[in-house]
């Protein structure tokens, strides 16, 4: 049994790596005010090599398979497969909620997992959401961030995706808390793990298109989006406003408060609060990939498209 579990976790990590080939930011402190890119990413040259290798594998292997999956598997079945894999990894969410001191959320996450595993037929159907138990996103990297552990150096893990010296600890932690590792053998897990990697890549298809179309340097796009997203997650969507030292010409330091860096948010639930009258942040959903912009009705209607008209009116008797 011990050997079987060792083999299973190796395959589990491998499947996670395959799924990570297409990782689009899924930090706490991230880049601190005044911190240079070099101090955030001291291993950039090595990280770029790992990124290029992972991206090549994704484009030649994972992307064609994921496109076939999207093209031939019916949408309801895709949704059930996604629910199944989300449920398998949900004990990790519940456990880390407790570790972060979120007792009420931990209880609700445990109830969600129990309901979906039983009434929802092993997670194929998300009955818990309909019963009021929302899906949360916690992991051991976030837990360490809540405990005060700094993000550390940015890392791009080969075949896994963006991470950091702190967040990389979640890879073995999430593998050990996955239901498949606890109850199945390597023979059973191998095909299920591969299908999970394909499902994950398929759910990121739109995000990958956004990255390719919007980013002049995809590596920097992924790095900055990942750091901002992790910060967003650690602070539960309410990161502190950063302040920067604005050095004047005479050398005196003046503290200037600036708006937070726009956050690229990863959410499984596409529901949005669109009541904001103006854009306060940029949110990108890896599943739906929509930009939260104000509706046309919320824009000022008294703007004159002809700036010369007022001058002509002033000259009129």
Residue 237: what pLDDT?
83
Read off the pLDDT of residues 252-268 as tens digits, 9 standing for 90 and up: 433 333 334 444 444 44
Is 269 in contact with 87 (CB distance < 8 Å)? Answer: no
What secondary structure, in 3-state letters, does 34-69 show?
CCCHHHHCCCHHHHHHHHHHHHHHHHHHHHHHHHHH
- Judged against a pLDDT cut of 50, whether residue 66 lies above it is answered with yes
- Judged against a pLDDT cut of 60, whether residue 149 lies above it is answered with yes
User: Of 160, 192, 198, which Cα lies nearest the Cα of 179?
Assistant: 192
C-alpha count within 13 angstroms, C-beta hemisphere, residue 8: 21
> Residue 255: enclosing H or E segment and its boundaries?
strand 253-257
Query: What does the alpha-carbon distance between residue 232 and residue 28 come to, in Å, rounded to a whole number?
Result: 7
> 300 or 120: whose pLDDT is higher?
120
> 216 or 305: whose pLDDT is higher?
216
Residue 181: what pLDDT?
80
Q: Which residue has the tokens 């291993």?
A: 43
Cβ neighbours for 156, distance < 8 A, ≥ 6 positions apart: 47, 48, 50, 51, 54, 162, 163, 219, 222, 223
């Amino acid at each position: 049994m011990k050997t079987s579990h060792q083999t299973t976790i190796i395959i589990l990590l491998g499947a996670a790596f395959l799924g990570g080939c297409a990782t689009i930011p899924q930090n706490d402190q991230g880049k601190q005010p005044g911190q240079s890119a070099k101090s955030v990413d001291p291993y950039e040259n090595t990280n770029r090599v790992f990124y290029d290798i992972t991206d090549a594998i994704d484009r030649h292997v994972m992307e064609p398979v994921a496109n076939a999956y999207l093209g031939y598997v019916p949408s309801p079945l895709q949704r059930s497969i996604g629910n199944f894999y989300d449920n398998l990894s949900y004990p990790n969410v519940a456990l880390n909620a407790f570790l972060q001191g979120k007792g009420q959320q931990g209880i609700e996450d445990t109830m969600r997992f129990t309901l979906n595993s039983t009434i929802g037929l092993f997670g194929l159907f998300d009955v818990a959401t309909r019963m009021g138990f929302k899906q949360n996103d916690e992991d051991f990297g976030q837990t360490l961030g809540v405990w005060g552990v700094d993000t550390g150096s940015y890392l791009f893990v080969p075949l896994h995706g963006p991470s950091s010296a702190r967040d990389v600890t979640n890879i073995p932690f999430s593998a050990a808390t996955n239901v498949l590792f606890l109850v199945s053998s390597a023979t059973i897990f191998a095909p299920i793990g591969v299908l999970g990697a394909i499902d994950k890549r398929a759910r990121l298809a739109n995000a990958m298109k956004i990255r390719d179309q919007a980013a002049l340097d995809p590596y920097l796009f992924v790095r900055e989006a990942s750091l901002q997203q992790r910060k967003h997650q650690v602070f539960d969507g309410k990161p502190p406003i950063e302040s920067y030292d604005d050095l004047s010409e005479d050398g005196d330091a003046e503290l200037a408060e600036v708006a937070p860096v726009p956050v690229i948010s990863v959410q499984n639930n596409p529901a949005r609060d669109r009541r904001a009258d103006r854009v306060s942040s940029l949110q990108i959903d890896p599943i739906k990939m929509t930009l939260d912009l104000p509706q046309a009705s919320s824009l000022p209607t008294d703007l004159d498209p002809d700036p010369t008209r007022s001058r002509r009116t002033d000259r009129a008797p």
